[in-house]
C-alpha cells in the first residue's frame, strides 16, 4: 500500500515537471519574434569581397550575407608631403588609406603669393561686395605680382532695430545694418540692410459686441464687435429707434472709461435707477429697481434689468476707494449691453496706512518718491506728463533683476515719451548712491529714472527695517507694476520679464483705449549705420537735483 502511494507521488511530481517545461518552451519569446539584427563582423577588405555576419539581439541567431569590396578610405587631411608646392609650381605628396597600407599619389595645389611688404599706394581694400587687391614683390618667387583679396561678405551680426511693429493685418519689420564700415552694398552707397519680417498678428476680437451709438427716438443706433488691437469692427448690428412703451432687457456692466471691466471690490456695490425727474423706477413687483452685489456676475460685473426706453439716472455707490461713476444714461431697446462708466483719481497720500496694499484694479495713493540721487517727485507729478508709471522692484544682488534690465531699457527707449520709471530697492537695507549706481551703470539706464531706497531702521537692529516695497504688496523681486493715467494698477507681474513682453505691455497701456486721446505709436530709434553702445555714467547728486 505504502509502495503504491509512493509510486503515485513520484508519478505526479514527474508529470508536473514535464508540464512546466512544456509551458516554458511554449512561452519562450525566442520561438516567435521578429529578429533584431546587429552587424558584428564584415570580412570584406578594400579590394576583396567578403561577407557580413549579423547576430539577432533577441535569440542569438546568426546570418551571413555577401559583401562587396569596401574601397579605399583615403586620409586627405594627413597627406605626406614629398615636394612642397610653391606659388608657381604644384607640389606632390602621398595619401594613405585608413583601412589598409595602400598609398596613392596626390597633387598639391599651388599656394598663394606671399607679399609681406605690399606697395602702400597700390592697396585696394576689399569691401562686402567688391574684391580688393595688393601689389608687391612675392617673398617666395621674388616676382612683382598683383594678388586679389576676396570680397568680405556682409556682417549682419549686430543688433536688430525695430522698424515697424506687426499689426493685425500687417507684417512686422526689423532691420539689421551691416557692421562693416566699408560696406557699399546699398544702391545709394550706404551700408546694406537685412530685413527680418514677422507675421501679422491677426485680429483680437472682443468676446461680445459693444454699443457704438445709442439709438434715440429719431435715429437708429449701432453696436459691433471690436478688435482689441486696432480700430476694425465686425458683426455690425443696427439698433432700432426707441419706441415708446416697448419694454426690453438691458445688461449693464461696471467698466472703466476704456471699456475694461472692474473686477475687484464689488461686494459692497449698489445701483439705484431713477427717471429723468429723479424718481425711483419701479420693477414688475412695484419696488424700486435697486441692485446690490448679489445681482452681479463677479467675472463680468453685469446686472440685468427690464426697463422702458428712456433717459435714466443710475446711482452707483459702494465702489472701491478712488472710484466714481457717471450717472446719466439713455436706455435703448433690445438685448443691449450698457457700460456704467467708472472713473478714478489718485488718493491722497495721507489716507495710506501701514496696512495699505495694492492689487490689480486698486487706485494708488499719491506717494512722494525721494531717490538716492537727492531728487524728489510725486506720482501725480509723473502722471501729469506721462500716460503710465512703471514701478520696478529689485535688489542689487538679484540675478533675475539684472537679466531683465537690458530688455526693460530697450523697451523703455521706444515709449519713453509716454512713461516714467521708478526703481524700488526692496531688500538692501544698507545700499547707497554708489552701490545702486554701480548696479545700474552696465545697463545704460536713462538719466530720468528714479532709484528709490527707503529702508528706515527699526530700533537698534540695522537689519530690522521698514520696507517701502511692502506698501505696494511687492513680495518678491523682480516685480513690475504699472499705474495708468487715472492712478489705477493695471499691470502687476512677478518674475523676470522679456523685452518683447515689456514692449507689448507698454504699447498696450500707452495706446487707445487705455489713453483717452488717440496717439500714434512711437517709432523705434532709427539706425543708419550700425548699433552703438553708449556707456552713460549715472550722474551723482549734483547732476540730478532737478525735479522731473
pLDDT in tens, 398-419: 889 989 999 999 999 999 999 9
pLDDT band at 369, cuts 50/70/90?
confident
How crowded is residue 108: how many other Cβ atoms within 10 Å of its Cβ?
17
Return the beta strands (E) in 227-263 as ranges.
Answer: 233-239, 248-256
130 pLDDT higher than 50: yes
- What are the extents of the domains in the chain? 41-71, 72-111, 120-149, 161-198, 210-344, 349-543
pLDDT band at 522, cuts 50/70/90?
very low
| pLDDT tens-digit series, residues 6-60 | 666 777 777 776 676 654 544 454 556 788 888 888 889 999 999 999 999 888 8
Q: Are 466 and 459 in contact (CB under 8 A)?
A: no
How crowded is residue 171: how many other Cβ atoms within 10 Å of its Cβ?
13
For residue 447, the SS3 value is coil
483 pLDDT higher than 80: yes
Per-residue pLDDT, 7: 65
Per-residue pLDDT, 351: 87
CA pair distance 485, 399, nearest whole angstrom: 31
pLDDT band at 276, cuts 50/70/90?
confident
Mean of the pLDDT values across residues 73-96?
Answer: 93
pLDDT band at 285, cuts 50/70/90?
low
Per-residue pLDDT, 534: 29
| pLDDT tens-digit series, residues 292-330 | 655 554 445 556 666 776 777 888 888 888 888 887 777
Per-residue pLDDT, 18: 66
Among candidates 388, 397, 394, 377, which has minimal Cα distance to 489? 388
pLDDT band at 383, cuts 50/70/90?
very high
Burial letters 405-430, b for 16+ CB under 10 A, else e:
bebbbbbbebbbebbbbbbbbbbbbe
Q: Are 127 and 182 in contact (CB under 8 A)?
A: yes
Per-residue pLDDT, 66: 92
At the top level of CATH, which class does the domain 210-344 belong to?
A: mainly beta
Q: Are 396 and 402 in contact (CB under 8 A)?
A: no
Q: Which of 138-142, 192-196, 316-320, 355-359 bottoms out in mean pLDDT, i.e. has the lowest?
A: 355-359
Model pTM greater than 0.85? no
CATH architecture designation of domain 349-543: 3-Layer(aba) Sandwich (3.40)
CA pair distance 548, 537, nearest whole angstrom: 19
Per-residue pLDDT, 31: 54
Helix (H) or strand (E) holding 50: strand 50-56
Mean of the pLDDT values across residues 140-166?
Answer: 88
424 pLDDT higher than 60: yes
Per-residue pLDDT, 524: 44
Q: Are 253 and 302 in contact (CB under 8 A)?
A: yes
Return the beta strands (E) in 112-265 as ranges.
Answer: 132-137, 144-149, 161-164, 172-177, 193-198, 210-213, 221-226, 233-239, 248-256
Among candidates 443, 452, 453, 455, which has minimal Cα distance to 538? 443
Per-residue pLDDT, 391: 94
Return the beta strands (E) in 345-445 as ranges.
Answer: 368-370, 376-378, 388-394, 419-425
Among candidates 165, 116, 173, which has minimal Cα distance to 145? 116
Backbone angles phi, psi at 185, to 5 degrees: -75, -10
513: cis peptide before it, omega within 30°?
Answer: yes
pLDDT band at 265, cuts 50/70/90?
low
| pLDDT tens-digit series, residues 220-256 | 888 899 888 888 999 998 887 777 666 666 666 777 7
**Cell triple for 274:** 431713477
| pLDDT tens-digit series, residues 436-457 | 888 888 888 888 899 887 655 4
Place of cell 574601397: 71
Among candidates 445, 451, 448, which has minimal Cα distance to 369? 451
* Mean pLDDT value across the chain: 79
Which of the listed ranges 251-265, 275-289, 373-387, 458-472 does the model predict with the highest average pLDDT?
373-387
547 pLDDT higher than 50: no
pLDDT band at 396, cuts 50/70/90?
confident
Backbone angles phi, psi at 58, to 5 degrees: -90, -55
Instruction: Please calculate the CA angle 445-483-437 and round it to the nearest 5 degrees.
Output: 20
Amino acid at each position: 500500500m505504502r509502495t503504491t502511494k509512493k509510486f503515485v507521488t513520484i508519478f505526479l511530481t514527474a508529470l508536473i515537471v514535464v508540464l512546466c517545461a512544456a509551458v516554458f518552451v511554449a512561452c519562450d519569446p525566442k520561438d516567435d519574434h521578429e529578429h533584431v539584427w546587429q552587424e558584428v563582423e564584415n570580412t570584406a577588405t578594400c579590394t576583396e569581397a567578403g561577407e557580413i555576419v549579423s547576430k539577432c539581439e533577441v535569440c542569438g541567431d546568426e546570418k551571413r550575407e555577401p559583401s562587396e569590396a569596401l574601397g579605399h578610405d583615403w586620409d586627405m587631411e594627413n597627406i605626406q608631403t614629398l615636394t612642397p608646392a610653391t606659388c608657381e609650381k604644384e607640389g606632390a605628396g602621398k595619401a594613405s588609406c585608413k583601412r589598409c597600407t595602400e598609398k596613392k599619389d596626390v597633387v598639391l595645389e599651388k599656394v598663394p603669393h606671399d607679399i609681406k611688404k605690399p606697395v602702400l599706394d597700390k592697396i585696394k581694400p576689399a569691401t562686402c561686395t567688391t574684391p580688393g587687391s595688393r601689389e608687391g614683390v612675392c617673398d617666395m618667387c621674388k616676382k612683382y605680382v598683383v594678388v586679389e583679396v576676396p570680397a568680405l561678405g556682409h556682417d549682419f551680426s549686430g543688433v536688430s532695430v525695430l522698424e515697424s511693429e506687426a499689426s493685425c493685418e500687417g507684417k512686422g519689420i526689423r532691420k539689421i545694418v551691416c557692421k562693416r564700415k566699408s560696406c557699399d552694398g546699398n544702391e545709394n552707397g550706404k551700408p546694406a540692410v537685412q530685413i527680418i519680417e514677422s507675421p501679422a498678428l491677426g485680429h483680437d476680437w472682443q468676446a461680445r459686441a459693444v454699443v457704438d451709438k445709442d439709438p434715440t427716438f429719431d435715429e437708429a443706433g449701432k453696436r459691433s464687435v471690436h478688435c482689441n488691437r486696432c480700430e476694425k469692427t465686425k458683426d455690425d448690428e443696427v439698433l432700432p429707434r426707441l419706441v415708446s412703451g416697448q419694454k426690453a432687457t438691458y445688461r449693464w456692466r461696471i467698466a472703466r472709461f476704456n471699456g475694461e471691466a472692474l473686477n475687484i471690490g464689488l461686494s459692497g456695490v449698489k445701483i439705484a435707477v431713477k427717471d429723468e425727474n429723479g424718481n425711483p423706477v419701479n420693477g414688475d413687483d412695484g419696488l424700486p429697481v435697486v441692485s446690490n452685489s448679489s445681482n452681479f456676475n463677479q467675472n463680468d460685473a453685469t446686472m440685468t434689468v427690464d426697463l422702458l426706453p428712456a433717459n435714466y439716472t443710475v446711482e452707483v455707490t459702494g465702489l472701491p476707494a478712488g472710484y466714481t461713476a457717471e450717472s446719466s444714461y439713455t436706455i435703448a431697446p433690445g438685448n443691449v449691453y450698457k457700460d456704467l462708466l467708472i472713473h478714478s483719481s489718485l488718493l491722497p497720500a495721507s489716507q495710506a496706512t501701514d496696512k495699505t496694499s495694492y492689487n490689480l484694479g486698486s487706485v494708488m495713493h499719491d506717494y512722494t518718491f525721494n531717490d538716492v540721487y537727492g531728487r524728489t517727485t510725486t506720482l501725480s507729478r509723473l502722471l501729469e506728463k506721462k500716460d503710465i508709471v512703471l514701478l520696478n522692484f529689485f535688489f542689487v544682488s538679484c540675478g533675475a533683476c539684472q537679466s531683465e534690465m537690458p530688455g526693460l531699457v530697450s523697451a523703455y527707449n521706444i515709449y519713453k515719451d509716454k512713461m516714467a520709471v521708478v526703481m524700488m530697492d526692496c531688500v538692501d537695507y544698507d545700499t547707497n548712491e554708489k552701490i545702486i549706481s554701480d548696479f545700474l551703470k552696465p545697463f545704460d539706464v536713462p538719466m530720468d529714472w528714479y532709484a528709490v531706497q527707503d529702508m528706515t531702521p527699526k530700533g537698534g537692529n540695522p537689519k530690522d527695517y521698514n520696507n517701502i516695497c511692502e506698501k505696494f504688496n511687492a513680495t518678491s523681486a523682480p516685480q513690475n507694476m504699472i499705474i495708468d493715467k487715472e492712478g489705477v494698477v493695471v499691470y502687476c507681474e512677478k518674475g523676470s520679464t522679456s523685452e518683447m513682453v515689456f514692449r507689448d505691455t507698454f504699447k498696450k497701456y500707452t495706446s487707445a483705449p487705455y489713453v483717452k486721446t488717440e496717439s500714434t505709436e512711437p517709432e523705434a530709434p532709427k539706425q543708419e549705420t550700425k548699433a552703438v553702445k553708449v556707456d552713460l555714467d549715472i550722474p551723482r547728486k549734483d547732476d540730478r537735483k532737478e525735479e522731473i
